[in-house]
Structure 1
């Protein structure tokens, strides 16, 4: 059996599985590997900032809050988590017809049910929390560095 382009159809790619994979493991790019395969270059770029952010968390635990490199690396983790939840939201809200046309050409459509909707709800909750925490964390460090710079200025005559 061949699809519209004459190629052999690939496995069916579930919108629900893609949304949950993006939510739970998307910061490592596994949702892209599920959808596009091992040759997807963007999927292989996801682990780098995620691991750098995790390294920043580890550095902060070991060296304390004054470690400047930690303050630069930790927001990368937050942004990758937000990116993953955004992907889950986009996947879960994409209409079934468009999803099947893009990811399942030539295959019989299957109903997705409530799994994708629940993934979107969880993604909104987790993604919003991660985004606000990342913004607050970054703003806190910025303002602390401004106060630190102000206190280190030599006082005038």
Structure 2
């Protein structure tokens, strides 16, 4: 029996590593195996900023990958948390009755949804702002080079 509350928390906390996908769909889920790739690239982008500074062009392209992955996993936590028990049990607990306990919403589920909404939207906006800021600063630098 797949528990909706556990899946929402797993998506929020371990989503960028694909843990929620493995919990719900098994170790053969190919998207679960692909999720760590943008996460690792984003972490590599953060490491490049630490090594080369914020003017590194590759880092401003890589860091948003981490942010978008985290935000997408937070969105999945919200979707899981707000799914009706009937739909949850039909999708992930097919042999269980429609109103089985693992598909029900409780306060821990609502807590996961609230935190996913807060952190997901914050990280998404920060990623968008960071990438646009770096892009426009790069464009200004290139324009200055051309004008000289």
The alignment's TM-score, normalised by the length of structure 2, stands at: 0.94
The runs of 4+ residues in structure 1 deviating greater than 4 Å are: none
| Structure 2 counterpart of 1:74 | 63
Superposed CA offset, 1:8-38 (max 9, x none): xxxx100000000000010111100000000
Q: Is the 8 A contact 2:81 2:105 kept in 1?
A: no
Distance 1:142 1:136 in 2: 10
C-alpha RMSD of matched pairs (Å): 1.0
- The question of whether the paired residues in 2 share the 8 Å contact of 1:29 and 1:47 is answered with yes
Q: Matches of 1:69 and 1:146 in 2, distance apart?
A: 14
- Corresponding residue for 2:9? 20
Larger radius of gyration: 1
Corresponding residue SS for 2:54: coil
Q: How many residue pairs were aligned? A: 144
| Structure ranking higher in helix proportion | 2
Structure 1: gaps of 5 or more residues: 1-11
TM-score, normalised via structure 1 length: 0.89
- Counterpart position of 1:117: 110
> Where does structure 2 lack aligned partners over 5 or more consecutive residues?
none
Structure 1 residue 48 displacement after superposition? 0.4
